[in-house]
Structures are given as C-alpha cells and as structure tokens.
Structure 1
Amino acid sequence: MTNLLARLLHLLATLVGRLPWPWLMRLGDGLAAFWRWRDVRESRVARRNLELAFPSETPAEREALHAAILRTTARQVLETVRLWTRPHAENLALIRDVHGASLLDSAIAAGHGVIIAAPHHGNWELLNQWLATRTPLAILYRAPESAIGEAFLQSVRADRDRVTQIRAEGPAVRQLFKWLGAGGVVGILPDQQPKVGDGEFAPFFGVQALTMTLLGRLGARTGATVLMAWCERVESHPGRPPVFDLHIEAAPDAIADADPTVAVHALNATVERIARRDPAQYQWTYKRYTLRPPGSGEPNPYWVGATE
C-alpha cells in the first residue's frame, strides 16, 4: 500500500510539474498569500525566527521580509516538484552561471574525499542534480516520518545511479567515513538541528543554536576537502522560469578544526554569511532554535507564550 500511495503521489507531482512556469509561480504566490492569511505553521515559524535573528529591524521591516520569505518558499515548493519530475537536462538549463566548479574538480582529482556543505539557501535540489552530473556522491538526509513520504523521495530525488542517499541515523557516520576514505564526495545540509549529544551550541544570527559536529569530525579525521555550495535564485518572475547561479567556494579551514567548538562556530558564521546574501531565500520556516543551551533557563522560543 505504501508503494502504491507513493506512486500516486508521484503521479500527482508529475501533473503539477507539467504546468507552465507562469502558472506554477502564480500558484506559489497564491499559496504564500494563503499561508499569511491563515497564519499557518510556516508563517508562524518564519515570523518567530525573524524576531530572533533580526531584533534590530523594525516590525514593518520584518513583516516585509516575512512576506518575501513565504513567497519565495512557496515558489520553491512548486519549483522543486517540477525539478523532481522533469528531465534533469531541462532543469539544469535554469542555471545561468556556475562559480567555482574548478574547485570541485580539483578536490575530486586530489583523491582525498570531498565534503559539500550545502546550506538551506536557494534551491538545494537543483544543486544536487548539478553535482550528480560532475561526480557520484552520497547525500546525508533526514528521512520523513511518513513511510509514504520516504518512498516518494526515493523515487524522485536525483539519479540513483549517481546519488546514494544515506539516512541520518544508525550506521550513517560509518558509511560517510568509508565513502570519504575511498576518495568519494559527500553532501551534507549543515544547518539542520542535530539531536542532543550530536552537536554543540554556537551563535547563528546572534542566537545560540545547537549545531552539528559531524561535518567537522569528518573533515578533521579524513582530511577531505570541505566546500560550501548553494544554488541561488537570481531571477524569479511570475511570467518566466526562475534563473539560478550556482556557487562553490572553499570553506574556512576552521570548519574542519579538531576542536568541535571552533568548528561549529566557523560553520555557523559561514552559513550565516551565505544566508545574508538574500535572507528571503533562506529556509526560515524551519525551527532552528528549539533546543536551548543547558542551564540557560531559556524556553523553547516556538512555544506559545515563550519570551526571548
């Protein structure tokens, strides 16, 4: 039954993905307007994150950014549905420029392994598809709670002959060390909140956030090259397809420091710098700050009635 429902979901996604770009963008704008009108979860979380991360902005400035975030997020949802269900060559034509591709090629050629740290900025699914054209890679991902959602993702994500999806659980760390030890390429979304015990706190937009230590451990112990990568939307008009620039740059050495405190501080500072390029393209609908530093007495800031 799970596979049947996943196939039906894939069929629905395929039908949506066949809509003309102008229809998809207008549908996304309508979805964003609905989110704001009903103040759904995405709207509430984004607003709270902006209060935490941009306290010096006026309420009017935060509301304007809030509207832009929901519009960008809704459009990206529909973009991604199309990216998942259309030929990859067609999708990759949306990329206008690629900056830093030679860094990736050189790192792969060195044979010491490569870690791609890809923040939730722009469209990371399009980035995955581009990376798969350059090299086989393993992607660490957090599996959906729904078995149907998991089966659907397995069916739509990048070419399985080129991309190995590794669930962020159990033997994942061992698999990643093995992959890097063989000179392979690993993709990690570095700004997801880890479980207690799998991270350390470091400032992110001025707020302490539990941050993964895995990326730093992998880099420090394997000697793999760490690169930052993101696929940033540079044009997005209701009447035309979106246009992207893809960026790859060397990560600061401190991200792979043997001291996890040093590593997580460098990681958050780097992700924040990328997100500040265009805050509306960052994933502010994610509850990044639920876990608070031990002994701080701070409540979960997303609880109703929580104070800063």
Structure 2
Amino acid sequence: MSRLGVAVFWLLHWLPLAVLARLGEALGLLLHVFALPRRHVVDTNLKLCFPELDARQRRQLARRHFRTVGRSLLERGLLWWGSRERLERLVRIEGGDRVRALQAAGTPVILLAPHFVGLDMGGTRVTMDFDIVSVYARQKKNPVLDRWLYHGRSRFGDQLLLARQDGVRSSVKAMKAGRPFYYLPDMDYGRRDAIFVPFFGVPAATITGLPRLARVAGAAVLPCVTKMLPGGAGYVVEIGEAWSDFPSADVEADTLRMNEWIESVVRTMPEQYYWVHRRFKTRPVGEAKLY
C-alpha cells in the first residue's frame, strides 16, 4: 500500500458505515472479476469444503464472500482513525464479563478468534476493553501498510504485540500477568508445530498451539467470533463460555475439536470465513498440491 492509498482510506473513513459498506461490496465484486489468483483459491476452497453445493451455488457463495472481503478492506480505515466513541457504537461486544470474571479469579484467558473477515474489527474492539497479547506478522514487503496495521492494533490501551518467533514463553508470561491472548490458530503455517486433522473433511495442517498453550498457562479457552452485520448495522463480537474439559490428555483430539468448532461456526456464515487464504496449501507427504 502506498501513501496515496492511505490517504484514500483516510478520506473514506469519514463516510457513514452504510455508504462505506456499499462501496466495499462493490470493490469486492470487482475483485471477484479481476483478482483471478485469489478467486481460484476461493473456488478451490469452496469446492473442497462444500461438495454438497453445485457449481452455481458455489459461485454465488464466492461472490458473497468477495463482497465481505471488499467491505473489510475499505472499513479498515475506521480501525486506524475512527474515534473510540464511533467504534464502540459500530462494534458491539458481548460476553466481556466472562473474561473479567476469569481475570478476577486469576485464571489466564485465551480468546480463540478464527479468521473471519471481521477479525481485525473485533480485535480492535477487544483492545478497547482489555489489554491483550497477540501475535503480529510483520509486513516486511510493505512498510507503509505495516505501520498502519500495527497502529490499528495498538492504538487503544496497552497492547502487547509479539512476533511469531517470540515463541510460547512470552505469550504464557503475558497471560499469567493477566493479559487475554487474542489467538488466531486456524491458518496454514506449514509443517512446523502442525499435525494433519480434518477441516470440512479435508486433512489440514493445523498448529497444536491451542491445547499446548492452554495446558502450559493453565488458561481457559473462550471462543471469540466477530460477525459482520448487513449494511450499516456494524459488527458484533461474541465471546462465549469457556470450553469445558479442555485441554485433554490428547493433543490431536483437542486440535480436531478446535477445527470442528470452527467448522460449525463457519457453516452459520460461510461467506464471512477467510476463504482467500490457501488453507490446504501444505499437504500430507505424497499428496498432490491443491492450488
């Protein structure tokens, strides 16, 4: 992203959300037409995960997905420059008292936040209520974008953003000090620290960090899902009840449980999951590439 692009985002963030949402959806439809490599990724993912849909239904779902992606792109300016009051009005958070109760009891907290298109909006809203720890992937090829992404994730409160290579120790230390961990473990990070467990029935390289971190830190795992609402209605961040009997003695079973839960939520709003990511890029030894 160039400085001109940042200036455009700044101008757009002054628009009412209803107008910004329509512009974002229009941008998404253009991306569906012209961003052919990403459309191929989305089409492949949907074919793998929704074999019960015919080609027309998957095409319609892909178009709806790109509309939400376009919205999430254009609405990012709200995270960078929107006032606290405006963001509190646009993004409602439910279940925050569950986090506070665990903090009061001295229990470390992991917020399990899957990659839905509203993820960053939800993350920024959480930082307005809690000082958290999260993992930040540097955008080394685009320092302008890197600067503003970092700004958006750290502008409220006292946030701790760690690089992935900082490892488990720093995350556990932060959780034990009372910071909820806004944790995003549902992408394909390669073979390191990953096992193959099904996601929509397809073997997916999945990191085992959730049960391992929960065990080492003695943390409660609370599901945290951000939903993009239609038009100008905003977003809602839903923080659910802590998972019971987690972690178990079986890391593979716990990792499968995570994937099954994410799948169950995706099925309630399939257009909002981050299908532009090559979730099945890493394959078991001997299997052909899917993209």
TM-based fold match above 0.5: yes
Asked if the contact 2:80–2:148 (Cα under 8 Å) also holds between the matched residues in 1, the reply is no
> Deviation of residue 279 (structure 1)?
0.4
Q: 1:39 to 1:128 in 2, by over 3 A?
A: closer
Quote the residue 1:250 is aligned against: 241
Question: Is residue 80 of structure 2 the alignment partner of residue 84 of structure 1?
Answer: yes
Matched, 1:108 2:103: yes
User: Structure 1 residue 58 and structure 2 residue 54: aligned?
Assistant: yes
Q: For 1:243-291, what per-residue CA distance to the aligned partner results, in whole angstroms no more than 9, with x for missing partners?
A: 2222111353465334321121011011111111110111111110000
Q: Does 1:24 align with 2:20?
A: yes
| Distance change in 2, residues 1:6/1:70 (3 Å) | closer
Shift of 1:226: 0.8
* Partner Cα separation in structure 2 for residue 172 and residue 87 of structure 1: 33
Identity %: 28
**Is residue 31–residue 74 contact of structure 1 (8 Å, CA) maintained in 2?**
yes
Which blocks of at least 5 consecutive residues in structure 2 are unaligned?
Answer: none
1:274 paired to 2:269: no
Q: CA deviation at 1:186?
A: 1.0
2:287 to 298, 302, 307: 298
Structure 1 residues 216 and 207, CA gap change in structure 2 (3 angstroms): same
Provide the TM-score with structure 1 as the length reference: 0.86
Write out per-residue CA displacement over residues 227-255 of structure 1, whole angstroms, 9 at most, x where no aligned residue. Answer: 1101212322xxxx232222111353465
Distance 1:151 1:258 in 2: 41
3-state DSSP of counterpart to 2:192? coil
> One-letter code of the match for 2:269?
D
Give the counterpart of 2:153 among 134, 157, 163: 157
Give the counterpart letter for 1:14 in structure 2. Answer: W
| 2:287 partner letter | E
User: After the TM superposition, which residues 204-215 of structure 1 pair with which residues of structure 2 at under 5 Å, given as runs?
Assistant: 204-215=199-210
Please list every run of at least 4 consecutive aligned residues from structure 1 whose deviation after the TM superposition is greater than 4 angstroms: 5-10
- Aligned pairs, number: 290
Task: State how 1:93-104 maps to structure 2 within 5 Å.
Answer: 93-96=89-92, 98-104=93-99
Q: After superposition, where does 1:27-46 map in structure 2 within 5 Å?
A: 27-46=23-42
In the alignment, which of 101, 112, 117 is matched to residue 117 of structure 1?
112
Asked if structure 2 preserves the Cα contact closer than 8 Å seen for 1:254 and 1:263, the reply is no
Q: Go from structure 1 to structure 2 and tell me whether the alpha carbon gap of 1:166 and 1:210 turns closer, same or farther (over 3 Å shift).
A: same
Map of 1:261 onto structure 2: 252
Aligned mates of 1:131, 1:220 — CA distance in 2: 24
Q: Distance in 1 between matches of 2:35 and 2:83?
A: 35
| Separation in 1, partners of 2:225, 2:142 | 28
**Cα pair distance change 1:274/1:9, threshold 3 Å:** same
Instruction: Give, in angstroms, the shift of residue 69 of structure 1.
Output: 0.5
Root-mean-square deviation (CA, aligned residues, Å) is: 2.1
Distance 1:132 1:226 in 2: 18
1:231 is aligned with what amino acid?
A: T
Q: Which structure 1 residue ranges, 5 or more long, are not aligned? A: 303-308
